Structure 1
């Protein structure tokens, strides 16, 4: 299998490269920009599979495909706001949300390998994806959640929620009055329902509300520890791969 990685953050690219090596897959090239990728594709045979980040240092990686006719299969590796994931699903495109989980990587590679004997191809509609990236204002997002309290059903407005988190295979919301409620959903499903200008997924465990952030502290390995108004936990930490996007999200 011929594989390349297109990722502008070099530590993230090297981390993915090491994870692939554990699966006995060697990346033939690590590319870090649209310009570098275009030059490489013009000089080299196209690979079987591309691990592709969306936002590169000099533009969207879609420009590569709009300029050149590339038939390679694509697995997106994205730390982009999660409303974009709906387009990936609509187009049957595999994606890995950064920071990449090793188990999810194994599943994505296995899914690609299952397609090879059937020669199944994926038609990527980049226009659909770009519309969601550029025009999120057209989306309708969740304004309230219904939670069960004993035998009663309680409505929680979205502006009351400080964070969403996963724990012991359950998904919870934490409110500004210090209460926690179990939800009948997953963080992955919430990714399509939360207003991206209000909530950011800082790690595989947490979405945080920008209005509930009380303090941010430098943490080990170039990460950030988040202090919320009432939610008290030491592991509310921005994953290293998400720090750059988190700071941009803060504006």
Structure 2
């Protein structure tokens, strides 16, 4: 089986190649490509591989741009650090996606899945492109993926996926992370509401923006309000007004 790997982290690419060869020594990794531009060039100049393993975020853009530029019939297995919500729209016609760090037994199941499905892949057709475009919309790069915070005269990068909730009080805005640390930021809560992906973060009220992954449960509260319990202790109760209650529950179901 002839495959290519699109991955800008050399160590990760090498580990992936090693696992593939452990799974099946007949797998031929024809190329390891590190950028959108190099992948586009290779696919234009070479015969299509049988299968593509690709990271989503590369140094010069998103890997989806490759498949917009080059029409290839090769199915793609995405290897990504992004959570599952980001590629749900693509699930119907992608072969699979693997969340980093990749484990060999999961990789093996993914390869086996491809082998079982490969006779049917020619029927994917235009729907493949339709779903791919949906993913590109969901992965809109205008949303922040890293915030710079000031802490004890240092500037620290905080990954957005590690934010448990944002809390505003007394004119200050704090970002609380999953390791139970709190950092002040220069943004207003209104600015952060625009910068954070609304599929993952919700403005619960004037004081809080919450990450859906940190919600433990929701309880009915006074006057048809909702009380949101999170896995991490907030400075005060997170209450969703009765006006926003239905919208909030709909968001949770997305």
With structure 2 as the length reference, what TM-score do the two structures score? 0.55
Gaps spanning 5+ residues in structure 1: where? 148-154, 163-174, 177-191, 195-251
Distance 1:102 1:145, change over 3 A: same
Residue 111 of structure 2 is matched in structure 1 by: 109
Contact 1:20-1:26 within 8 A present in 2 as well = no
Q: Which residues in structure 2 correspond to 1:1-251 (within 5 Å)?
A: 1-23=1-23, 24=25, 25-122=27-124, 123-124=128-129, 125-134=131-140, 136-137=197-198, 142=212, 143-145=215-217, 157-158=228-229, 160-162=230-232
C-alpha separation in 1, matches of 2:31 and 2:102: 19
Aligned equivalents of 2:49, 2:73: Cα separation in 1: 9
CA-CA distance at 1:69 after TM superposition = 1.2
Displacement of 1:43: 1.6
| Higher CA-based Rg | 2
Helix, strand or coil for the counterpart of 1:137? coil
2:217 partner SS: strand
8 Å contact from structure 1 (residues 49, 74) kept in 2 = yes
Matched residues in 2 for 1:112 and 1:75: separation? 9
Q: CA deviation at 1:118?
A: 3.8
Cα 1:115–1:67 change in 2 (3 A) is same
Q: Distance in 2 between matches of 1:28 and 1:193?
A: 43
Q: Which runs of 5+ in 2 are unaligned?
A: 144-196, 203-211, 220-225, 235-250
Take 2:65 and 2:94, find their aligned partners in 1: how far apart are those partners? 20
Q: CA deviation at 1:119?
A: 4.4
Q: 1:193 to 1:10 in 2, by over 3 A?
A: farther
Q: Distance in 2 between matches of 1:10 and 1:2?
A: 20
Q: Structure 1 residues 76 and 121, CA, compared in 2 at 3 Å: closer, same or farther?
A: farther
2: CA distance, partners of 1:29 / 1:15: 14
SS at the partner of 1:116? helix
Q: Which has the higher contact order (CA 8 A, sep 6+)?
A: 1
Matched-pair contact (CA < 8 Å) for 1:17–1:26: no
Q: CA deviation at 1:157?
A: 3.1
TM-score by length of 1: 0.56
1:108-143 deviation digits (Å, cap 9, x = unpaired)? 100100112344544142221122212731567645
Paired with 2:199 and 2:12, the residues of 1 have a C-alpha distance of 32
Aligned length: 161
Distance 1:106 1:193 in 2: 32
